[in-house]
A and B are shown apart, each in its own frame.
Chain A
């Protein structure tokens, strides 16, 4: 019994971590209908950027200055955008039309100088995290400007394949920039095991503190996203776009801007996933495989539902761990020979597939109504 609880709790906590990656998919799919396979690569990039800014072991001083300049420029632009209320309605010939460029260059120079002054010794966490976010925002901008905008109105499959292309690009780019080794990430999350209910069961129930912190972080993130979606102006605009982007555009919501925001938020989610997974595994290329773990979570929970991603993650995490541990036992009981393990490799997918047969739109997905 204690062992079963242990497996179940371990699975649930792993599931929360799957949800973290799945969340990024859901956000982008909701707002732009793009099935963004690059989410895994974004986790890698965010993680590499963070770890190299925080404890640089690979990048040289000039890389550092470059990243510093870039992030300062991004922050500068965002501040400008917020201050000016989201529009740049300046007439031609007015100097203010160049304001974004001026701000970007100025802030970039400032950031570069600051980074140079700090040297390549790494930044404190409170500076490294915003800088990594800035890097992800820059990625979002590039993707929106150079991939999504030219591909607007294409079929979903084309957009999906384009994000696969983006995946290749980000994989290559981030490893060129930040190195392809394993980089341990140590931001102070405890990794010790702890034991619950030692009085009830012999040996207690083992739970890893790191998994618990991961769960807490995921919870905070979801709450934050919920507030962002429900209470802020941009959040409402996002929901409008998700509902019907033609109608949203007709009431004056700038689609491109919204896409940019969504990809930036997905970048932030990727960074959070990278922090939690990176503390567990070290920042390294294998983080990109997480995308594959998130896919069954998506179909189970529905592509368009944030709570779906969480519930789907929990179901799949717990389900696959329990299946992995008990599959040989059960098959031995039923057929006399123990089937080989490794079931968790496909369990999530088959579970999701069977589930879809009864509810084709996933657990929380929007009902698809078709008319001729």
Chain B
């Protein structure tokens, strides 16, 4: 009897799972829906958590302090991707039609998911914001109408990193005959900078040593033994999650000087250096404009967002690099909506309208100050031909206790970047049979 009851229970359970539809929560009519693709679990959670906290806290701030964007409240929902492409696509499909006007935009927060969504966004007419990541050639808005790699692509990052190295060595002419190693996450993310670095190694005559690390990056002994053997003058680190701290530790284990390591801006946050303790002192990384520490907006965050409406941030963590980055990312999205509202009216907007807002986003220094991001961002202006907006970056160094800015602003070198973007995006357009927009005719 017992067995039968059990079986019936199992059957009922199977039935219940099969039958349950998706219960859609009610949305008020005057709400703008913004999805958040986040990862708070899995191998990349330590980096995903602060970013998701920063994003959602900024939306809370807008809702609680200003009553929304010009009176339009933000409805936001997180969906857990676990950094997996198929989960990300499922989240996208689940959230894209929510709210009165559908999703405003997506921040995939993974290069793999970005690649998959790039194929889907034009069909659904939803912009994809990839702030500081994604496809580097998607800077060309004429071909990639729906992608917005705001603030910097990996090609820009690679360029800036090399500029910094050249400066430390005393000029680009000193690079000749030198050896630069790239330790990278073996995925679309880690491979993105290679074309730019190859290009630069040809131009400046340095040798590029490529050392791929397999996901998730806990095994790097052989890569670092090779570094010990080959003794590169500098090592670039293109890692994410646990890979970063492991790299720093392995560098210490082979006695490679940490101040000769330069990480990308996704390898330069607290979770990347703290696990390695003292060993990470001296390690350098690029900044996606902002660094750690507080800027004026943090006072409002503390007042209006922390501890409210299910915010999960701890007060001590809100000046972390990745928390700030989440906030900057959310802010740029909100400002894009604001820009679009100027043209289409203060009401919930569709993805297509917000795309226009993104393309015409123009943040002046005064506006950035007004928003409370002074010192964290440089002015940026998006246009049809330039979906990146600005190509500036700095370098900061871990002192053992905090990140300290050690460089001036560098500008990505458009002499190199523009032809590469043009060629690669033309190839994509040809493959996908896309006719590029004529940017001179866009308003």
Chain A interface (Cβ < 8 Å from any Cβ of B): 3, 6-7, 10-11, 14, 175, 180-184, 186, 191, 193, 206, 208, 210, 280-282, 284-287, 289-290, 293, 320-321, 324-325, 340-342, 344-345
Cross-chain contact A341 with B211 (CB below 8 angstroms): yes
B contact patch SS: helix
Give the chain A neighbours of B232 by CB distance below 8 A: none
Give the chain B neighbours of A186 by CB distance below 8 A: 277
Give the chain B neighbours of A321 by CB distance below 8 A: 221-222, 225
Is B20 on the interface with A (CB-CB < 8 A)?
A: no
Interface string of B204-222 (1 = CB under 8 A from A): 0000000110101111011
Contacts A193-B255, A342-B212, A344-B222 aside, 15 further interface pairs with beta carbons under 8 A come to A11-B222, A14-B221, A180-B40, A182-B242, A184-B275, A191-B249, A191-B253, A193-B252, A206-B228, A210-B253, A281-B275, A284-B275, A286-B216, A287-B218, A344-B219
From A3, A193, A210, A340, contact of B229 by CB (8 A): A3
Is B49 on the interface with A (CB-CB < 8 A)?
A: yes
6 nearest A-B pairs in the assembled complex, by CB-CB distance = A282-B275, A324-B222, A180-B45, A182-B46, A208-B253, A286-B242
For residue A259, give the distance in angstroms from its CB to the closest CB of chain B. 23
Give the chain A neighbours of B252 by CB distance below 8 A: 191, 193
Cross-chain contact B225 with A7 (CB below 8 angstroms): yes
Cross-chain contact B42 with A340 (CB below 8 angstroms): no
Cross-chain contact B43 with A286 (CB below 8 angstroms): yes
Q: A183 CA to B218 CA in the complex, in Å?
A: 15
Cross-chain contact B225 with A181 (CB below 8 angstroms): no
Give the chain B neighbours of A175 by CB distance below 8 A: 41
For residue A176, give the distance in angstroms from its CB to the closest CB of chain B. 10
In B14-59, the 8 Å CB interface with A consists of 40-43, 45-46, 49
Cross-chain contact A182 with B41 (CB below 8 angstroms): no
Interface string of B239-279 (1 = CB under 8 A from A): 00110011001001111000000000000000100111101
Cross-chain contact A191 with B41 (CB below 8 angstroms): no
Cross-chain contact A7 with B214 (CB below 8 angstroms): no
For residue A180, give the distance in angstroms from its CB to the closest CB of chain B. 5
Give the chain B neighbours of A7 by CB distance below 8 A: 222, 225
From B41, B212, B216, B221, contact of A10 by CB (8 A): B221
Give the chain A neighbours of B241 by CB distance below 8 A: 286
Give the chain A neighbours of B219 by CB distance below 8 A: 14, 293, 344
Taking CB as reference atom, which chain A residue is nearest B229? A3
Q: A10 CA to B241 CA in the complex, in Å?
A: 24
- Say whether, besides A6-B225, A180-B45, A285-B42, A191 and B279 are in contact (CB < 8 Å): yes
- Say whether, besides A186-B277, A285-B42, A289-B216, A206 and B255 are in contact (CB < 8 Å): yes
From A184, A193, A320, contact of B254 by CB (8 A): A193
Give the chain A neighbours of B228 by CB distance below 8 A: 6, 206
Give the chain B neighbours of A180 by CB distance below 8 A: 40-41, 45-46, 49
From B49, B212, B249, contact of A340 by CB (8 A): B212
For residue B337, give the distance in angstroms from its CB to the closest CB of chain A. 32
Taking CB as reference atom, which chain A residue is nearest B47? A182
- Say whether, besides A175-B41, A342-B212, A342-B214, A10 and B249 are in contact (CB < 8 Å): no
Is B186 on the interface with A (CB-CB < 8 A)?
A: yes
Q: A129 CA to B225 CA in the complex, in Å?
A: 33
Cross-chain contact B255 with A182 (CB below 8 angstroms): no
Cross-chain contact A286 with B229 (CB below 8 angstroms): no
A-B contact pairs, 23 of them (CB 8 A): A10-B225, A11-B221, A180-B49, A182-B275, A184-B274, A184-B276, A186-B277, A191-B252, A206-B228, A280-B249, A281-B246, A285-B41, A285-B43, A286-B43, A286-B217, A289-B43, A321-B221, A324-B222, A325-B222, A325-B225, A342-B214, A344-B219, A344-B222
Give the chain A neighbours of B40 by CB distance below 8 A: 180
Is B364 on the interface with A (CB-CB < 8 A)?
A: no
Q: A208 CA to B241 CA in the complex, in Å?
A: 23
